Amino acid sequence: MTLNQLKIIEPVAGDYNLPNYSEVRRSFKWEDAGEDLSFNKTGRLNMAHEAIDRHVEDGYGHKTALHYVNGDERVSYTFKEVKEKTDHYARILKENGIEKGDRVFIFLPKTPECYIAILSAIKIGAIAGPLFEAFMEDAVRDRMNDCGAKLLITDKEMVKRVPEKDIPTLETILYAEDIEAEPFIDDGKQYTEWMDAEDGMLIHYTSGSTGKPKGVLHAHRVVTHQYQSGKWVLDIKDDDVYWCTSHPGWVTGSVYGLFTPWLNRATVVIQGGRFKAEHWYKLIAELGVTIWYSAPTAFRMLLSQGDVLKDYDLSSLRHILSVGEPLNPEVIYWAWEELGVRIHDTWWMTETGAHLVVNLPGEKIKPGSMGRPFPGIEVGILDEAGEVVPRGTVGQLAVKTPWPGLMKEIWGNKDKFDSYFKYEGWYVSGDLAYQDEEDYVFFQSRDDDMINSSGERIGPFEVESKLIEHPAIQEAGVIGKPHEVRGEIVKAFIVLREGYVESPELLEEIRVFVRNNLAAHLAPKEIEVMDELPKTTISGKILRRELKRMEIEKSAVDQNA
Ligand code: WT7
């Protein structure tokens, strides 16, 4: 194997929060992390306090906490205003009987209210369950039922996608419009519930290759990991304007759109509306964004519209971060040559709570690699027996347990939780990778059938289950088909029931069926009808790998033709 044959991007000289990786990596201990956090001094812990209230107590109440931009709409709040708003929401949640440990779901577009609702639930000790804004009825219902949601904060438009009568535990629905319309009462009350490090705080649903999406539960202890990665990897300083493009219904949007930047007192940009190259560039230029976090699909879309760039001054950018899918070297070189900044790839997962493998601003980038282990994180590339393989050899990407960001549990599913820890002392990610002599980690592929489309993790099982609810479908196998911009697209192979005939109308109807019931990003972009699906001879399970192999072979033939 030829390692490191690509051109290295050297660090730009600068005054970075982590000046010397090698030294810190040798000496760092998690016990010493989170030096600015208040629980290290007071012994009292709550994420919402660390992210917002602490800054007001420390005299930064007048600093801008957020800029919200949606079309022509502009709203900004200071940290003091965000604190008051979370107290306001907290009071209303309490009045509605929410107690420590209750599950409070948030189903809102990317607005300040969404961020504030999440924090207010956490403030009073509840477990916040943010839902992606584009989910449809079945996706909303399955997630809220799995962990017995008690209260939902949504708005009067999105509530149309909430099947209230199918969620028996749901006692109350609150509308953000109504909460906003109620006057804030400064009752001087302290709404913060002091939590144990192990108490639940946040639940995100994510796909596995089997079964429905799993509820990954995080505890308040993640603050240490998130604070430290914001300081070192995002390299947040007091005058930074920070923008993460992800919706808080995804873990990138909650951890790196909300908690991590605010734990580091950054001014956060919240942008509404859909992707458009002009709007994104305009936003960076107008607000003077210095740190920008997005995904390779977005960068590839920007790259393909190269001429748009010349109309905007993006010189405020210090660096860009990327996550969710393999970052093409081509994209790194584009940003370096056209924007004059480095893109720092980062690797982590919903389950890991924060960054595990990173590129740091003061260190060289090896394009094709996701970077090196975060200080305090030990990566291992393992073989089937759970032994560490030699450098340069591909194996299972694993991480030594524990670390502060690691999930607390999978809601109601101990077997699933245990399956991540099948080798004593290791968390197994499900990714395949190799590590070079300098510790840089190179992603190869998933080790299972998970699909990664535009950085969104899609479990084939959830899509297949929905497909076979359609009256025309007898069987379905779903795979990720390689795609230039999106990484992969969802492709379904189906067998029709007797009496149904393939037609463009039927296939479109099936696509709409999945889109309307689950979510647009889960609907197959391509559907192929087959007489039968390849299966294992013993258990009769659908062989997704075989479908994928056939698909890749076919597209190779197409390209040669
Ligand atoms: C899976 C986790 C929490 C981050 C957003 C996605 C893939 C993540 C990278 C990267 C290549 C990556 C992996 C991982 N992934 N980062 N830098 N390069 N692949 O979180 O939805 O929990 O998905 O995303 O396959 O296992 P997620």
Best of 132, 254, 347 for a ligand 1 pocket test (most atoms within 8 Å of beta carbon): 347
Phi, psi at 354, each rounded to 5°: -170, 180
ipTM above 0.90, yes or no: yes
**Separation CA 86–CA 64 (nearest Å):** 16
| Ligand 1, atom 2: closest residue by C-alpha | 349
Q: If you measure from the C-alpha of residue 457 to the centroid of ligand 1, how many angstroms do you get, rounded to a whole number? A: 8
Q: What is the pLDDT along the chain (561 residues), one digit of tens a residue?
A: 444 568 999 999 999 999 999 999 999 999 999 999 999 999 999 999 999 999 999 999 999 999 999 999 999 999 999 999 999 999 999 999 999 999 999 999 999 999 999 999 999 999 999 999 999 999 999 999 999 999 999 999 999 999 999 999 999 999 999 999 999 998 889 999 999 999 999 999 998 777 789 999 999 999 999 999 999 999 999 999 999 999 999 999 999 999 999 999 999 999 998 888 999 999 999 999 999 999 999 999 999 888 899 899 999 999 999 999 999 999 999 999 999 999 999 999 999 999 999 999 999 999 999 999 999 999 999 999 999 999 999 999 999 999 999 999 999 999 999 999 999 999 999 999 999 999 999 999 999 999 999 999 999 999 999 999 999 999 999 999 999 999 999 999 999 999 999 999 999 999 999 999 999 999 999 999 999 999 887 777 889 999 999 999 888 777 665
Distance CA(242)–CA(14), nearest Å, equals 18
- How close is the Cα of 291 to the center of ligand 1, in Å? 20
The rounded Å distance from CA 170 to ligand 1 centre is 32
Take atom 23 of ligand 1 and give the residue whose Cα is closest.
349
Instruction: Determine the Cα–Cα distance for residues 81 and 67; give it in Å rounded to an integer.
Output: 12
Give the pLDDT of residue 273. 86
For ligand 1, whether the C-beta of 359 sits within 6 Å is no
Sheet holding 487-496, edge to edge: 473-483, 487-496, 526-529
Spatial distance between the Cα atoms of 17 and 19, rounded to a whole number of angstroms: 6
- Residue pLDDT, tens place only, 269-294: 999 988 889 999 999 999 999 999 99
* DSSP state string for 214-280: EEEEEETTHHHHHHHHHHHTS---TT-EEEE-S-TTSHIIIIIIIIHHHHTTPEEEEE-S---HHHH
Q: Given 3-state DSSP classes, what are the helix, strand and coil percentages for the chain, each rounded to the nearest 5? A: 35, 25, 40
Beta bridge partners, 267, equal 241
- Interval between CA 325 and ligand 1 midpoint (Å): 6
Contact 362, 16 (CB under 8 A): yes
- What integer pLDDT is reported at residue 560 of this predicted model? 62
Among 343, 348, 369, 428, the mutation site with the greatest number of ligand 1 atoms within 8 A of its Cβ is 348
Q: For ligand 1, say whether the CB of 430 is within 6 Å of any of its atoms.
A: yes
Counting ligand 1 atoms within 8 A of each CB, the residue from 323, 332, 357, 399 with the most, and so the one to mutate, is 323
Distance from residue 558's CA to the centre of ligand 1 (Å): 30
Contact 462, 522 (CB under 8 A): yes
User: What sign does the dihedral 51-52-57-59 (CA atoms) show?
Assistant: positive
Choosing from 132, 207, 457 the residue with most ligand 1 atoms within 8 A of its CB, the one to mutate for a pocket test is 457
Q: What is the pTM of this model?
A: 0.94
Q: Ligand 1: which of 293, 300, 321, 325 to mutate, most ligand atoms within 8 Å of CB?
A: 325
Task: Look at residue 3 in the predicted model and tell me its pLDDT.
Answer: 47
Could you tell me the distance, in angstroms and rounded to a whole number, from the CA of residue 444 to the centre of ligand 1? 12
Distance 300 CA to ligand 1 centre (A): 17
Considering only CA atoms, which residue is closest to atom 24 of ligand 1?
324
In the reported structure, the alpha carbon of residue 54 is separated from the centroid of ligand 1 by a whole-number distance in angstroms of 31
Reported as a single tens digit per residue, the pLDDT across 149-191 is 999 999 999 999 999 999 999 999 999 999 999 999 988 899 9
Torsion angle of alpha carbons 411, 89, 116, 347, nearest 10°?
Answer: -10
Q: Give me ligand 1 centre to Cα 323, in Å.
A: 6
Tell whether ligand 1 has an atom less than 6 A from the beta carbon of residue 386.
no
Question: Ligand 1 centre from 347 Cα, in Å?
Answer: 6
CA-207 nearest atom, ligand 1: 21
Instruction: Write the DSSP string, 19-61.
Output: --HHHHHHH--GGG--TT-THHHHS-B-HHIIIIIHHIIIIIT
